[in-house]
Amino acid sequence: MMTMLATISKEQRRENILLSLKKLGFLSRSQLQKLHRLGGTRNANRILKDLSDYLNVVRLNENIYYLNAEGRQRVGANKVLKKTNQIIHHLMRNSVYISYGCPITWKNEMKLIVKDEITIIADAIFNVANTYHIIEVDHLQKMSVNKEKIRKYKRLIDLGVFEKPPKLIWVTSTHYRKKQLIELSEGLQVIVYLHDDFK
């Protein structure tokens, strides 16, 4: 009986890891450790090696995992991911997801359209107590693009699109860019993190 329970638990953990990759795209070994309580590095590596039939792996500072064709088929994922410079973008966004306690209402790549006047794609959005939290990742992006996004968010607030003013959460890579984003976001509820804050 005990062996059967252990097997079910192991199988459920495997399924949960694959479902996390379906939802979040790319996850580092350390992110998977946090999300699924995989214990130490050695144990996490063993568990992820057991899933190698379903995973692609790329090495950055640590192993980064994403679903291969078999993994996508097993969990019904349609989106095919490839090794690109977007990996770090995903990891930065996923750091926010994990640090905010994996919000149930979290949605990636949300398109906001208002009367054909404004279209903006947020990197992610989640809602807590009727307050939207909008996540934006600043990685390899021109500051002029960030400036335009912030202008659009201010316009959405002016148009009364949100019941309560949203919280804008940025993740960036340098102190200089953090300072620029804070200045550009004046008048908004904003938090700017460095990616290193989550390590």
pLDDT score of 5 more than 70: no
**pLDDT, position 2:** 45
**pLDDT, position 58:** 95
Question: What residues are paired with 100 via a beta bridge?
Answer: none
pLDDT score of 174 more than 50: yes
Domains identified in the chain and CATH numbers: 2-83 (1.10.10.10), 107-198 (3.30.750)
**pLDDT, position 95:** 96
What does the mean pLDDT of the chain come to?
91
Length of the chain: 199
What percent of the chain has a predicted confidence (pLDDT) above 70?
Answer: 95
* Digit-coded pLDDT (tens) for 146-155: 999 999 999 9
Q: What average pLDDT score do residues 22-45 get?
A: 94
Distance, in Å, from the CA atom of 81 to the CA atom of 120, rounded to the nearest integer, reads 23
* Digit-coded pLDDT (tens) for 54-102: 999 999 889 999 999 999 999 999 989 888 778 999 999 999 999 999 9
SS (H, E, C) the chain: CHHHHHHHHHHHHHHHHHHHHHHHCCEEHHHHHHHHCCCCHHHHHHHHHHCHHHEEEEECCCEEEEECHHHHHHHCCCCCCCCCCHHHHHHHHHHHHHHCCCCCCCEEEEEEEECCCEEEEEEEEEEECCEEEEEEECCCCCHHHHHHHHHHHHHHHHCCCCCCCCEEEEEECCHHHHHHHHHHCCCCEEEEEEHHHHC
What are the structure tokens assigned to 166, written together?
A: 């949203």
Q: Provide the whole-model pTM.
A: 0.89
